[in-house]
Amino acid sequence: MVEILKIAEGKFQLRIDSESGSPLLHSIPFKSESDAKEVLDKVIAKPIFERKTDHQGKFVITLKTANGENVGQSNTYSSEAGMENGIKNLMKSLSKASI
């Protein structure tokens, strides 16, 4: 499930959850709901997943638009297989998103 949340006055954020409701990714803050919708449309059309390892050896997914704009970051995963499963869940949630 994909939601646009108002997180503060004039700030909005995308939240992407798995089908079971577990949080997969929170976006960077956006200045308006329309900015968040515009970026969501871009990542629905062509999501780019960047795989990273943090300083503790945990795995992290960064979601980007096709032009390289950073959208948000996942929670950490303890294994590479878990991260790949997270990407599959992100793709599934994005494919079902509608605004």
The per-residue pLDDT for range 30-86, each reduced to its tens digit, is 999 999 999 999 999 999 999 999 999 999 999 999 999 999 999 999 999 999 999
| Gap between the Cα atoms of 1 and 93, Å rounded | 5
Is the pTM above the cut of 0.85? Answer: yes
Delimit the domains of the chain by residue range: 2-95
Tokens of residue 33, six digits: 């709901």
For position 98, what pLDDT does the model report?
65
| Gap between the Cα atoms of 40 and 99, Å rounded | 9
Q: 10-42 burial, b for 16+ CB within 10 Å, e for fewer? A: eebbbbbbbeeeeebbbbeebeeeeebeebbeb
Q: Are 64 and 73 in contact (CB under 8 A)?
A: no
- Looking at the domain that runs over 2-95, which CATH code has it been given? 2.30.29.80
For position 99, what pLDDT does the model report?
53
